[in-house]
Amino acid sequence: MRPTGKLHLGHYHGVLKNWVKLQHEFECFFFVADWHALTTNYDDPSGIEQSVWDMVIDWLAAGVNPGSSTMFIQSQVPEHAELHLLLSMITPLGWLERIPTFKDQQEKLREKDLATYGFLGYPLLQSADILVYRAGKVPVGADQVSHVEITREIARRFNHIYGREPGFEEQAEGAIVKMGKKNAKLYRALKKRYQEEGDMEALETARALLKEQQNISLGDRERLYGYIEGGGKVILPEPQPLLTPESRLPGLDGQKMSKSYNNYIGLREEPDSVARKVRTMQTDPQRVRRTDPGEPEKCPVWGMHKIYSDADTQEWVQNGCRSAGIGCLDCKKPVIDAIVEEQRPLHERAREYEGNPDLVHSILQEGREHARDAARDTLEEVRAAMGLHHR
């Protein structure tokens, strides 16, 4: 996530709640993309450091757990930059120029000079961010799937160019033997089914079998992934997009909640401020007077009720609004109460971390070391494949 400072409820419902869930289902790496911030804010980096701090506190307040995931700052893991450089040697220029967000961002940010190498190359840096951990899945919204797709293409190109190591088949056959007779026999049968019959189920079963093997190295495992697929060694596995459920939380004006629209409620907004913002929210324009009936579907507050209210409250709102049985302030009160209640534990956790900055720094340092260990393993294989394994 790019460091944009303190987060809002749109971030919480659109991203952070999903992260909190994913950290218990996968090995997760969550990092602050401060280099990415420089691709568009290179001319004024003064706010980046504070934005990084505020955002990390918000992550921790939201329940991202350093005991269940790896949290770190991108620029403190230089392997991201090295892999970005190495991948730039094989990435065609046209691939970067055709990324949909490249021209879109240039159009949106016309006031900035974005004719820079860094801005053109930021999708490749994103690819390096993913591939350096050999990630299997990348949680993204639908508008970011193209970035995962170019990452897959880059990994495929890299493996095609560098994956055919000398003696590949002999090494793959040797790795099969290490699996033991029973598993070796099963692997060979699955390989035959996939390569001769195109049986995708056999391919998935073989991948699962390899994932469970404890007596072969990571290199052998990747070698055998490539062997069954009829290619070379898979040095950089192709990641898959893991679509994030789209946030349905509207802003105060009914548009998407965004700082640029100034229609947001902060993740750690004070209760009085939450109440003031919700009370002044736009409502159905047909309800000019208290006695005028309204239509909830035309009111931004109803969008909040769909997130925060139970079925009984939603029915009360539907009936009361359409019959003018309740006023707009009556309708808003349950939303205010629900937001304040949701934010209470976030405030408590944030105060704990803000009062102990050394703890936050140690979390980030520990995350950095874990991330670097994983990234070094990848770079070691990448350097060797590219002829850079000097003694």
Tens of pLDDT, residues 330-375: 999 999 999 999 999 999 999 999 999 999 999 999 999 999 999 9
The secondary structure of residue 12, as a DSSP letter, is I
CA contacts within 13 A on the Cβ side of 66:
21
Report the residue count for the chain.
391
State which H helix or E strand residue 73 sits in.
strand 70-73
- At 100 the pLDDT is 76
Q: Is the dihedral of CA 113, 115, 117, 123 positive or negative?
A: positive
Question: What pLDDT does residue 227 have?
Answer: 85
Measured between alpha carbons, how far is residue 97 from residues 23, 91, 118, 346 in Å? Answer: 34, 11, 13, 41
pLDDT greater at residue 9 or residue 99 = 9
The string of pLDDT tens digits covering residues 144-154 is: 898 999 999 99
For residue 291, give the 3-state DSSP assignment. coil
Express each pLDDT in 39-64 by its tens digit.
Answer: 989 999 999 999 999 999 999 999 99
Stronger pLDDT, 207 or 232, i.e. the higher one: 207
Per-residue confidence at 252, pLDDT binned at 50, 70, 90? very high
Range of weakest confidence among 239-248, 294-303, 380-389: 239-248
Please work out, in degrees rounded to the nearest 5, the angle formed at the alpha carbon of residue 171 by the alpha carbons of 165 and 172: 100
Give the 3-state secondary structure percentages of the chain, helix then strand then coil, rounded to 5.
60, 5, 35
Residue 380's pLDDT is what?
A: 95
The whole-model pTM stands at 0.83
Task: Answer for the pair 232, 168: CB distance below 8 angstroms, yes or no.
Answer: yes
Tokens of 86: 């190495």
pLDDT at residue 19, rounded to an integer: 97
Q: How far is CA 2 from CA 53, 218, 327, in A?
A: 12, 31, 41
What mean pLDDT do residues 237-242 have? 92
Q: For 70-109, what is each residue's pLDDT tens digit? A: 999 999 999 999 999 999 999 998 889 888 777 677 777 7
Q: What is the pLDDT of residue 14?
A: 93
Nearest-angstrom CA–CA distance, 54 and 47: 11
Q: How many whole angstroms separate alpha carbon 200 and alpha carbon 238?
A: 16
Rounded Cα gap, residues 8 and 259, in angstroms: 8
